[in-house]
Structure formats: structure tokens, C-alpha cells
Amino acid sequence: MKRPAFDDIFMHLAIELAERSHCVKAHVGAVLAKDTRIISIGYNGPPAGTHNCDEEWPEHGCARDSKGSCSLALHAEENAILYAVKNGASLEGSSLYITLSPCLPCARIIFTSGIKKVHYLKSYAEYKGLPSDEGVDFLRKFGVDVVKYEPVGSF
């Protein structure tokens, strides 16, 4: 029996976490890990104690901001990072597994928090119809190792 690689385990968990999202538009999951241990998890959605978009506004989701993005939701990587920091975890040298590559604002948070490697499943640029993955470009420019996830072992 072949043992799954940790990259596969963490990405599979991110995919499963995405299914927890209350967002009507997109489901994204994230796992923060370091040295084969999970530090934190997250998925996109509104802050705890506010509204669940799929329950409050099931047809269209929450209101859009001036750029057409959700006005209420936190991104999956934001939730994972915020929860880790709230609980005193150090993210220095950690890896992030995420089902959608980070947007530029999230990339700045990822860089600032000390995350050194990002594995992503799908392109944010392709999802949004943008010419390039600005978040990925930013992270690479400043020395964060960013890789499009390809299964190493079997799922």
C-alpha cells in the first residue's frame, strides 16, 4: 500500500474544507502546515458571528463592493492566518495549501506573515478573468516559493 504524500494530504484537506464555505459564488479552502503538522485551517466566508451568505441571500450572495467582490467574506487564507495568529502560532517558514491562488491583498498578508511556500490548485486569474495571477507574481518577486499543485501520490 502506497502512503500518500503530505502535499496530497494537505491539499485534499483544503479541498474538503472548501465544501464548508457559506459563499454563494466560490468555495475555497486553505491549510497552513509546518514540518508535516497542521497549524491552522480556513475556508472563505463571513466572519464568525455575522451572516451566512447562503442562508441570508441564497440567490445572489452578499452585496458586492466597488470592485465586484464580496463585501462580507474573508478569503480562506485570511481565515487560516487570522485564526493561527489569534491562537499565538508562528507562521514563519510554514506552507500554505489553497484551492485557489491568492489575490494580491492576500499575497501581501501571506508574505508579511512569514509563509515560505504556497501550493495552489486553481488560478485566481482564470477564475476572475484577469490577465495574470498578481498574487502569485508578487509572492515570487519577494522570494516565496509558489507552485501549482500537481498530485505527488495518489488521492
pTM of the model: 0.90
List the binding residues for Zn(2+): 75, 103, 106
pLDDT at 60 over 60: yes
Helix (H/G/I), strand (E/B), else coil: 105: helix
pLDDT value for 146: 98
Number of domains in the chain: 1
pLDDT digits (tens, 9 = 90+) for 25-51: 889 999 999 999 999 999 998 888 887
Q: What is the CATH number of the domain that holds 118?
A: 3.40.140.10
- The answer to whether 113 and 81 are in contact (CB under 8 A) is yes
Paired with 42 in beta bridges are 30
Residue 155 lies in a domain: no
pLDDT at 153 over 80: no
Residue 46 lies in a domain: yes
Residue 133 lies in a domain: yes
What's the domain range around 30?
6-148
Phi, psi at 131, each rounded to 5° = -70, -25
| Count of other CB atoms within 10 angstroms of residue 60 | 10
pLDDT digits (tens, 9 = 90+) for 67-126: 677 777 899 999 999 999 999 999 999 999 999 999 999 999 999 999 999 999 999 888
Residue 15 lies in a domain: yes
Which residues, at least 6 apart from 68, have a Cβ–Cβ distance to it below 8 Å? none
pLDDT digits (tens, 9 = 90+) for 8-27: 999 999 999 999 988 878 89
56 is annotated as an active-site residue:
no
Give the distance, in angstroms, between the CA of residue 52 and the centroid of all CA atoms in the same chain.
Answer: 19
Select which of 16, 77, 78, 92 is catalytic.
Answer: 77
List the binding residues: 75, 103, 106
Residue 80 lies in a domain: yes
